[in-house]
Amino acid sequence: MRVIVLGATSAIAEATARLYAAEGADLLLVGRHAGKLSSIASDLKIRGASRAETAVHDLASVQGVDATLGDFIRQLGGVDHILIAYGILGDQADAERDQSVANDILQINFNSAAAWCLAAAAELERQGRGSLVVIGSVAGDRGRRANFVYGAAKAGLAALIEGIAHRFATKGPRAVIVKPGPTITPMTEGFDRKGLLWATAPQVAAVVRAAADRGGPVVYAPWFWRYIMLIIRNLPSAIFNRMDI
């Protein structure tokens, strides 16, 4: 198993990479911070990875995405699974006041992620096999005042991956968007992270790893968010607009 992880320093990505390492996979970890990538790679080798290589790259840049992904694949010697797991939450209030903040949220969470998804889809279609797994969010299921800029980016990403999955339907590869609910990671520091609805990165990682092999094209993590979001999506606006969520 050869796996490319784009955004490998995120908590969910690292936890997922540990699951692949336990299977003896070859991994290529991509992100901006060389030191952290190296530390994660060393840990993955201890955990059983056959190889754990690194590549430093600013994934928010969309220049030369196709060529760069090709370089990553050659560095690893081929690819079976591609995991896209980077993003920023951003601040909704700042995004409403400052267009540049909103642009950053949209650029990182949708524009650049979409470019990598399309490049990955083209490669997997050429080889006729493999999995593209992308971390989305339940925030994309319905616009809410608390985070609608971030939610809009994740909604667009979900539509893109569903479309790629439809494109793949008779061609061999698979594409899956995994939508976690609130998860205890560095991204959510400062939130009140108590309660049964909060998941841990390893819990979400288990869903991500399984989604690469089966199910989809839309998977919720944990599973019960599928039903929570079904209710939220179908609430009448008269009720929804009175809710502080």
The string of pLDDT tens digits covering residues 16-75 is 999 999 999 999 999 999 999 999 999 999 999 999 999 999 999 999 999 999 999 999
* Of the listed ranges 15-29, 110-124, 154-168, 231-245, the one predicted with least confidence: 231-245
Q: Cβ distance 55 to 80 under 8 Å? A: no
Distance of alpha carbon 207 from alpha carbon 222, whole angstroms: 7
Nearest Cα to Cα of residue 30 among 64, 72, 74, 87:
72
Question: pLDDT category, 216, cuts 50, 70, 90?
Answer: confident
pLDDT of residue 50: 98
pLDDT of residue 185: 84
Question: pLDDT category, 176, cuts 50, 70, 90?
Answer: very high
Q: Which domains does the chain have, with CATH numbers?
A: 2-240 (3.40.50.720)
pLDDT greater than 80 at residue 190: no
Nearest Cα to Cα of residue 31 among 66, 61, 2, 73:
61
Nearest Cα to Cα of residue 210 among 197, 226, 221, 200:
221
The residue type at 90: G
What sign has the CA pseudo-torsion 217, 222, 223, 228? negative
Name every residue whose Cβ is closer than 8 Å to that of residue 198 and which is 6 or more positions away in sequence: 181, 182, 183, 184
Hey, which residues are catalytic here? 150
- Average pLDDT score over residue span 143-151: 95
pLDDT greater than 90 at residue 173: yes
Nearest Cα to Cα of residue 155 among 137, 168, 180:
137
Share of the chain above pLDDT 90, in %: 92
Share of the chain above pLDDT 70, in %: 100
Nearest Cα to Cα of residue 164 among 214, 204, 114, 109:
114
pLDDT of residue 169: 94
DSSP assignment letter at 49: -
Q: How many CB atoms lie within 10 A of CB 148?
A: 16
pLDDT greater than 90 at residue 188: no
Q: Which long-range contacts (CB under 8 A, 24 or more apart) does 140-148 make?
A: 140/179, 141/179, 141/229, 141/232, 141/233, 142/229, 142/232, 142/233, 142/240, 144/245, 145/92, 146/92, 146/245, 147/89, 147/92, 148/92
pLDDT digits (tens, 9 = 90+) for 75-99: 999 999 999 999 999 999 999 999 9
Q: In the numeric block, which tokens belong to residue 176?
A: 């899956």
pLDDT of residue 194: 82
What's the whole-number average pLDDT of the chain?
A: 96
Query: Could you tell me the pTM of the whole model?
Result: 0.94
